[in-house]
Amino acid sequence: MERVLLLLICFLLLSQPNNCSSSLSFNSSTPRCHSHQSSALLHFRNSFSVGDSNGFCDKYSYPPKNSWKMGTDCCGWDGVTCDTMTGHVIGLDLTCSRLEGPIHPNSTLFSLRHLQRLNLAYNEFYPFAISSKFGGFANMTHLNLSWSSFAGNVPSETSHLSKLVSLDLSSNHDFSWNYGLRIETPSLKRLVQNLTHLTELVLDTVNMSSVSPNSFMNLSSSLTSLSLFDCGLKGRFPDNIFHLPNLQLLHLSFNYNLTGSLPTYNWSSPLKSLLLSSTEFSIDLPNSISNLKSLKELYLSRCNFIDSSNPTFLSNLTQINSLDLSYNNFGGQFPWSLLNFEVLTVLDLSYNNFIGQVPDFSTNWTQVSSSNSSSNSQSTIQIPSKLVYLVLSDNLLNGTIPSWLYDIPSLQYLFLDNNQLTGHIGDFQHNSLVDLLLNNNNLSGPLPLSISKLVSLRVLYVSFNNLSGNVESKIFFRLKNLEYLEMSNNPLLSLSSFTFATNILPNINYLRLSSSNITEFPHFLQTAKYIGLLDLSKNQIKGNIPKWFLEGGKDSLYFFSVSRNNLTGEIPLLICNLSSLQYLDLSYNHLSNMIPPCLGNLSNHLIDLDLKSNNLHGTIPSTFAKGCYLRSLKLNGNQLEGSLPQSLVHCRELEVLDFGNNKINGTFPLWLENLPSLRVLILRSNNFHGAIGNPKYKFPFPNLRIIDLSHNEFHGHLPTNLFKYLKAMMNASVNKGELKYMGDNYYQDSVIVEMKGFSIELVKIQSLFTTIDFSNNNFKGEISESIGELQSLKGLNFSHNNLTGCMPPSLGKLTNLEWLDLSSNKLIGEIPIQLTDLTSLEVLNLSENYLSGQIPQGKQFNTFMNDSYNGNQGLCGFPMTKACGNDEGQQPPPSSTIQEDDFKFENGFHWKVVLLGYGVGFMFGLGLGYLVFSSGKPIWLVNIFYGEQGNNVQRSKKNARGRTH
Query: Considering beta carbons, is residue 160 or 272 the nearer one to ligand NAG?
Result: 160
| C-alpha distances out from residue 494 to 426, 453, 621, Å | 19, 21, 39
Query: What is the largest distance, in Å, between two alpha-carbon atoms of the chain?
Result: 121
Q: Does 138 bind ligand NAG (CB under 6 A)?
A: yes
Q: Where are the alpha helices (DSSP H) in 403-513?
A: 496-500
Question: Is the distance from CB of 93 to CB of 17 less than 8 angstroms?
Answer: yes
Question: Least CB distance from residue 52 to ligand NAG, whole Å?
Answer: 24
Query: Considering beta carbons, is residue 57 or 231 the nearer one to ligand NAG?
Result: 231
Strand partners, 354: 332
The values of phi and psi at residue 690, to 5°, are 85, 180
Give the Cβ contact number of residue 324 at 10 Å: 26
Question: Least CB distance from residue 39 to ligand NAG, whole Å?
Answer: 12
Which range in 156-164, 179-187, 374-382, 719-727 contacts ligand NAG by CB under 6 A? 156-164
Which range in 146-154, 158-166, 468-476, 781-789 contacts ligand NAG by CB under 6 A? 158-166
Query: Considering beta carbons, is residue 158 or 951 the nearer one to ligand NAG?
Result: 158
Is residue 957 within a helix (H) or strand (E), and if so which, with residue range?
helix 951-963
Question: Least CB distance from residue 193 to ligand NAG, whole Å?
Answer: 7
Q: How far apart are CA 354 and CA 227, in angstroms?
A: 31
Which range in 106-114, 588-596, 623-631, 779-787 contacts ligand NAG by CB under 6 A? 106-114
Question: Least CB distance from residue 165 to ligand NAG, whole Å?
Answer: 14
Query: Considering beta carbons, is residue 104 or 547 the nearer one to ligand NAG?
Result: 104
Query: Considering beta carbons, is residue 114 or 133 the nearer one to ligand NAG?
Result: 114
Which range in 157-165, 662-670, 764-772, 947-955 contacts ligand NAG by CB under 6 A? 157-165
Query: Considering beta carbons, is residue 102 or 781 the nearer one to ligand NAG?
Result: 102
Q: How far apart are CA 404 and CA 816, in angstroms?
A: 54
**Is the peptide bond between 127 and the residue preceding it cis, with omega within 30 degrees of 0?**
yes
Which range in 154-162, 298-306, 406-414, 646-654 contacts ligand NAG by CB under 6 A? 154-162
Q: Does 194 bind ligand NAG (CB under 6 A)?
A: yes
Question: Least CB distance from residue 769 to ligand NAG, whole Å?
Answer: 25
Query: Considering beta carbons, is residue 190 or 955 the nearer one to ligand NAG?
Result: 190
Question: Least CB distance from residue 177 to ligand NAG, whole Å?
Answer: 10
Query: Considering beta carbons, is residue 49 or 257 the nearer one to ligand NAG?
Result: 257
CB pairs under 8 A, 24+ apart, for 594-600? 594/570, 594/618, 594/619, 595/571, 595/620, 595/621, 595/635, 595/640, 596/570, 596/571, 596/572, 596/621, 597/621, 597/622, 597/623, 598/573, 598/623, 599/571, 599/575, 600/624, 600/625, 600/645, 600/647
Residue type for position 90: I
Query: Considering beta carbons, is residue 23 or 176 the nearer one to ligand NAG?
Result: 176
Question: Least CB distance from residue 870 to ligand NAG, whole Å?
Answer: 52
Residue type for position 381: I
Query: Considering beta carbons, is residue 159 or 393 the nearer one to ligand NAG?
Result: 159
Among 26, 49, 53, 104, binds ligand NAG (CB under 6 A): 104
Question: Is the distance from CB of 526 to CB of 502 less than 8 angstroms?
Answer: yes
Q: How far apart are CA 390 and CA 417, in angstroms?
A: 11
Binding mask 655-684 for ligand NAG (x = CB under 6 A): ------------------------------
Task: Label residues 126-137 b or e (16+ Cβ within 10 Å = b).
Answer: bebbbbebbbeb
Q: Does 914 bind ligand NAG (CB under 6 A)?
A: no
Question: Least CB distance from residue 83 to ligand NAG, whole Å?
Answer: 8
Query: Considering beta carbons, is residue 162 or 556 the nearer one to ligand NAG?
Result: 162
Contacts with ligand NAG: how many residues (CB under 6 A)? 13
- Please name which of 354, 351, 353 lies closest in space to residue 334, comparing C-alpha atoms: 354
Among 36, 113, 740, 826, binds ligand NAG (CB under 6 A): 113
Q: Is the dihedral of CA 391, 416, 910, 759 positive or negative?
A: negative
- Please name which of 583, 903, 893 lies closest in space to residue 762, comparing C-alpha atoms: 903
Binding mask 569-608 for ligand NAG (x = CB under 6 A): ----------------------------------------
- Please name which of 724, 733, 661, 660 lies closest in space to residue 692, comparing C-alpha atoms: 724
Q: How far apart are CA 553 and CA 512, in angstroms?
A: 20
Question: Is the distance from CB of 488 to CB of 463 less than 8 angstroms?
Answer: yes
Measured in residues, the chain has a length of 965
Strand partners, 920: none
Q: Does 190 bind ligand NAG (CB under 6 A)?
A: yes
Which range in 120-128, 155-163, 437-445, 467-475 contacts ligand NAG by CB under 6 A? 155-163
Question: Least CB distance from residue 3 to ligand NAG, whole Å?
Answer: 15
Give the Cβ contact number of residue 938 at 10 Å: 12
Question: Least CB distance from residue 236 to ligand NAG, whole Å?
Answer: 14
Q: Does 162 bind ligand NAG (CB under 6 A)?
A: yes
Question: Least CB distance from residue 43 to ligand NAG, whole Å?
Answer: 8
> DSSP label at 33?
P
Question: Least CB distance from residue 745 to ligand NAG, whole Å?
Answer: 20
Q: How far apart are CA 937 and CA 421, in angstroms?
A: 36
Q: How far apart are CA 524 and CA 133, in angstroms?
A: 57
Query: Considering beta carbons, is residue 304 or 577 the nearer one to ligand NAG?
Result: 304
Question: Least CB distance from residue 109 to ligand NAG, whole Å?
Answer: 12
Question: Least CB distance from residue 230 to ligand NAG, whole Å?
Answer: 10
Question: Least CB distance from residue 28 to ligand NAG, whole Å?
Answer: 24
| C-alpha distances out from residue 15 to 9, 19, 60, Å | 10, 11, 7
Which three-class secondary structure state does DSSP give residue 752? strand
Q: Does 106 bind ligand NAG (CB under 6 A)?
A: yes
Question: Is the distance from CB of 822 to CB of 776 less than 8 angstroms?
Answer: no
Q: Is the dihedral of CA 520, 526, 528, 531 positive or negative?
A: positive
Binders in 212-271 for ligand NAG, by CB under 6 A = 256-257
Q: Does 159 bind ligand NAG (CB under 6 A)?
A: yes
Q: Does 139 bind ligand NAG (CB under 6 A)?
A: yes
Query: Considering beta carbons, is residue 159 or 269 the nearer one to ligand NAG?
Result: 159
Question: Is the distance from CB of 547 to CB of 522 less than 8 angstroms?
Answer: no
Query: Considering beta carbons, is residue 139 or 385 the nearer one to ligand NAG?
Result: 139
Question: Least CB distance from residue 88 to ligand NAG, whole Å?
Answer: 7
Q: How far apart are CA 297 and CA 287, in angstroms?
A: 18
Question: Least CB distance from residue 34 to ligand NAG, whole Å?
Answer: 13
Binding mask 55-94 for ligand NAG (x = CB under 6 A): ----------------------------------------
Task: Give the binding site for ligand NAG (CB under 6 A).
Answer: 104, 106, 113-114, 138-139, 159-160, 162, 190, 194, 256-257
